[in-house]
């Protein structure tokens, strides 16, 4: 196993293509290593080796290269370029950032924040064709380059990446991940997908979140494969890239897969020309009906995985070489995944409880947050906050976030179960169930629904359909038909926010 991100890149054959763009810009591993070494020298000369550097770039070649370069000698902290100034102020202070990395002549408000706080600014020239790091002229006066050089980060125990949890309540928690954490997760993913140097992974996930960084960027590179660096997810351009650049796989969240499927039905001729050998889905639960439709449409297996930031992305996954069960996120590794009962003790298979994890891929704990660590880490097991069950064959099934479980007058309802139920209706494209306050029951069930094109359903149609399949207390009392499900930056439905966004509660 690799000991660091730099080791992961530098161990590959020089002549293989590492990074490629839809405009046919190509970087061999030899080119990539040379440019990373140049970037390391710059960061060392600025006394930024081993320091925390925020990367604020749009998706693409520049973002992929910058993450690899910064992580090779410093600590990367990728941030969403769409943040407002107040958000940048919070994250830069919370993460103790010493430098920021932005596009040349960037107009982002994070530049103002850096100037106000005396933080060094590095710019990326030619991010789409020949990304090169330079020290911004804006801060030459305050931060002249030095000639002192420091050693690069190459040890597995060194920090490589800082991300915040994406929780919708309370202050976001800092998740520190080491090179060892990331490399272990990369090894797990590469093995489960049987990746090799002939693979071409299309990245459509944001590179400021763990899914894109680990599954879409680092994993293909670790096997000498190619990463196709798109500008982000665009259902319109997706099929052009699919045919022109011939990726062998891509990883996405279910909402992206749904949009790809919807668009693909208008591109049936091009589908016959694709080079995909599998699809991968993670970061949110995949409705079974969508799973079946995608496999039938592309005529390749869809591998559903389960992950979270605190686990350096992947916890479990269905694999390319073994049998799977529909609705499962794969077989667990014994001793690395378990289920806690109400007393924080491991319970037997086929019993519902909280998924807990341990292993080399799992963070040692949240940064500067002893209370959160005390709540989350019990006897070396990390509590995920997800409700699930492991069957007698070792397959893991998820039922939803514990904090999202709907408590309707004492009856516990999994919103994922309601999602699956309503999405199984032939006229429904997407459905997301959520709780809303009820004066007598405490909570009740609501659902947001996106219908398929040219289809019409009433609230009574949905309720009648549900009553045929589940007990009455699980039937949503509020049904909202909308054009698009509100989603966060990674494409996950904003389940916890839907009551306020759609019902004003």
- Residue pair 451/127 in contact (Cβ under 8 Å)? The answer is no
Residue 106 and residue 70 share a domain? yes
Contact of 152 with 287, CB cutoff 8 Å: no
Q: Which residues contact 452 (CB under 8 A, 6 or more apart)?
A: 427, 428, 429
In a domain? residue 420? yes
Whether residues 44 and 169 fall in one domain: yes
Q: Please report, rounded to a whole number, the percentage of residues in the chain having pLDDT higher than 90.
A: 77
d(CA 29, CA 87): 36
- Quick one: angle between helices 235-244 and 254-264, nearest 10? 80
- What per-residue confidence (pLDDT) applies to 439? 84
Phi first, then psi: what are they for 406, rounded to 5°?
-90, 125
Instruction: Report the range of poorest mean pLDDT among 56-65, 82-91, 107-116.
Output: 82-91
Same domain, 438 and 391: no
CA distance 328 to 2: 29
Q: What is the DSSP letter of 168?
A: S
> Do 164 and 131 belong to one domain?
yes
Alpha helix locations (H) across 306-452?
370-376, 415-423
Please state the rounded mean pLDDT for residues 97-124. 96
Of 386, 401, 416, the position where a domain reaches its end is: 401
Q: Residue 187's pLDDT band (boundaries 50, 70, 90)?
A: very high
What's the confidence (pLDDT) of residue 150? Answer: 53
Domain presence at residue 273: no
Quote the pTM value. Answer: 0.87
Q: Is the pLDDT of residue 374 over 60?
A: yes
DSSP 213-260: IIIIIIHHHHTT-EEEE-SS--HHHHHHHHHHT--SEEEE-HHHHHHH
Q: Could you tell me which residue, 401 or 168, shows the higher pLDDT? A: 401
Query: How big is the CA angle at 443 (ends 437 and 449), to the nearest 5 degrees?
Result: 85
In percent, the amount of the chain with pLDDT more than 70 equals 96
CATH number reported for the structural domain that contains residue 483 in this entry: 3.30.300.30
Domain that holds residue 49: 30-178
Asked whether residue 342 falls in the same domain as residue 417, the answer is no
| Same domain, residue pair 117 and 135 | yes
Same domain, 481 and 350: no
User: Quick one: average pLDDT of 131-158?
Assistant: 70
Query: Could you identify the residue written with the tokens 């400021």?
Result: 208
| Exposed e or buried b per residue across 406-443, where buried means at least 16 C-beta atoms within 10 angstroms of its C-beta | bebeeeebbbbbbbbbbbebeebbbbbbbbbeeeebeb
pLDDT, average across residues 185-201: 98
- Of the listed ranges 70-74, 116-120, 189-193, 259-263, the least confidently predicted one is 259-263
Cβ atoms of 362 and 186 within 8 Å: the answer is no
Q: For residue 192, name the pLDDT band (cuts at 50, 70, 90).
A: very high
Number of neighbouring beta carbons within 10 Å of residue 360 = 16
Q: Could you tell me which residues come within 8 angstroms of residue 93 by beta carbon, excluding any fewer than 6 positions away?
A: 117
Same structural domain for residues 396 and 425?
no
- Is 121 inside a domain boundary? yes
Q: Where are the alpha helices (DSSP H) in 46-128?
A: 61-71, 85-94, 109-117
The mean per-residue pLDDT over the stretch 263-292 comes to: 86
Residue of 443 and 462 predicted with greater confidence: 462
Same domain, 46 and 145: yes
Half-sphere exposure of 103 (CA within 13 A, CB side): 17
Cα-based distances in Å from 119 to 88, 96, 102, 136: 13, 10, 13, 11
Mean pLDDT, rounded, for 86-102? 95
Q: Is the distance from CB of 495 to CB of 256 less than 8 angstroms?
A: no
Say how far apart CA 348 and CA 390 lie, in whole Å.
8
pLDDT at 151 exceeding the cut of 80: no
Same domain? For 388 and 489 the reply is no
8 A C-beta contact, residue 222 and residue 36: no
Question: Using 50, 70 and 90 to split pLDDT, how confident is the model at 333?
Answer: confident
Distance CA 307, CA 285 (A): 11
Distance (Å, rounded) from C-alpha 390 to C-alpha 349?
5
- Asked if residue 189 belongs to a domain, the reply is no
Question: What is the pLDDT, as a whole number, of residue 169?
Answer: 43
Q: What is the CATH number of the domain that holds 388?
A: 2.30.38.10
Which residues, 6 or more positions from 319, have their beta carbon under 8 angstroms from its beta carbon?
191, 192, 193, 194, 303, 330, 331
Q: At 201, is the secondary structure helix, strand, or coil? A: strand
Determine the Cα–Cα distance for residues 416 and 211; give it in Å rounded to an integer. 21
Q: Is the pLDDT of residue 283 over 60?
A: yes
Please check whether residue 291 lies inside any domain of the structure. Answer: no
HSE, CB side, 13 Å, CA atoms: give it for residue 470.
18
Domain count, the chain: 3
Does pLDDT of 170 surpass 60? Answer: no
Last residue of a domain, one of 178, 197, 212: 178
Q: What's the angle, vertex CA 384, arms to CA 438 and CA 217, rounded to 5?
A: 120
Cα(6)–Cα(104) distance, rounded to whole angstroms?
25
Q: Are residues 79 and 130 in the same domain?
A: yes
The pLDDT tens digits for 222-244 are 999 999 999 999 988 999 999 99
Q: Which of 403, 415, 432 is nearest to 492 (CA)?
A: 432
Q: Residue 93 has what pLDDT?
A: 96
Position 128 in a domain: yes
Among 162, 178, 194, residue at a domain's last position: 178
Q: Are 62 and 124 in contact (CB under 8 A)?
A: yes
Whether 188 maps to a domain, the answer reads: no
* Same domain assignment for residues 53 and 108: yes
Cα dihedral 470/419/168/478 (nearest 10): -60
Structural domain includes residue 288: no
CATH number at residue 141: 3.40.50.980
């Amino acid at each position: 196993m690799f000991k660091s991100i730099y080791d992961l890149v530098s161990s590959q054959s020089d002549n293989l293509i590492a990074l490629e763009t839809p405009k046919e810009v190509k970087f061999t591993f030899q080119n990539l290593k040379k440019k990373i070494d140049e970037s390391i020298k710059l960061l060392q000369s600025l006394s930024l080796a081993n320091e925390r550097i925020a990367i604020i770039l749009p998706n693409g070649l520049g973002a992929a290269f910058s993450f690899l370069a910064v992580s090779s000698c410093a600590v990367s902290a990728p941030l969403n370029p769409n943040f407002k100034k107040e958000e940048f102020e919070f994250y830069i202070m919370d993460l103790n950032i010493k430098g920021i990395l932005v596009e040349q002549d960037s107009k982002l408000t994070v530049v103002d924040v850096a100037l106000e706080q005396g933080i060094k600014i590095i710019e990326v020239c030619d991010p789409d064709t020949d990304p090169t790091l330079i020290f911004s002229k804006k801060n030459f006066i305050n931060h002249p380059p030095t000639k002192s050089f420091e050693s690069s980060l190459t040890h597995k125990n060194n920090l490589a990446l800082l991300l915040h949890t994406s929780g919708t309540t309370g202050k976001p928690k800092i998740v520190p991940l080491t090179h060892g954490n990331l490399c272990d997760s990369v090894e797990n993913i590469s093995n489960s997908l049987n990746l090799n140097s002939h693979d071409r992974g299309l990245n459509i996930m944001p590179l400021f979140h763990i899914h894109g960084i680990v599954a879409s960027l680092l994993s293909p590179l670790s096997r000498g494969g190619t990463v196709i660096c798109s500008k982000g997810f665009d259902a319109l351009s997706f099929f052009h890239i699919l045919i022109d650049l011939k990726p062998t796989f891509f990883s996405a969240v279910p909402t992206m897969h749904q949009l790809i499927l919807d668009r693909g039905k208008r591109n049936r001729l091009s589908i016959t020309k694709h080079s995909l050998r599998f699809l991968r889905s993670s970061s949110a639960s995949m409705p079974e009906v969508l799973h079946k439709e995608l496999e039938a449409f592309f005529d390749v297996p869809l591998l559903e995985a389960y992950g979270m930031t605190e686990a350096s992305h992947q916890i479990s996954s269905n694999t390319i070489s073994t049998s799977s069960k529909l609705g499962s996120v794969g077989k667990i590794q014994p001793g690395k995944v378990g289920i806690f009962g109400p007393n924080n003790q491991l319970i037997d298979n086929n019993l519902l409880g909280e998924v807990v994890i341990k292993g080399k891929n799992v963070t040692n704990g949240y940064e500067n947050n002893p209370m959160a660590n005390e709540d989350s880490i019990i006897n070396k097991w990390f509590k995920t906050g997800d409700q699930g069950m492991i069957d007698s064959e070792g397959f893991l099934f998820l039922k939803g976030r514990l904090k999202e479980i709907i408590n309707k007058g004492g009856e516990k309802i999994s919103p994922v179960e309601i999602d699956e139920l309503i999405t199984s209706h032939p006229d429904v494209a997407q459905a997301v169930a959520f709780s809303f306050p009820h004066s007598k029951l405490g909570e009740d069930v609501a659902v947001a629904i996106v219908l398929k094109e040219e289809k019409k359903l009433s609230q009574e149609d949905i309720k009648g359909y549900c009553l045929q399949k589940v007990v009455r207390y699980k039937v949503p009392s509020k049904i909202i038909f909308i054009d698009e499900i509100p989603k966060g930056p990674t494409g996950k439905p904003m389940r916890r926010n839907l009551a306020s966004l759609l019902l004003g509660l």
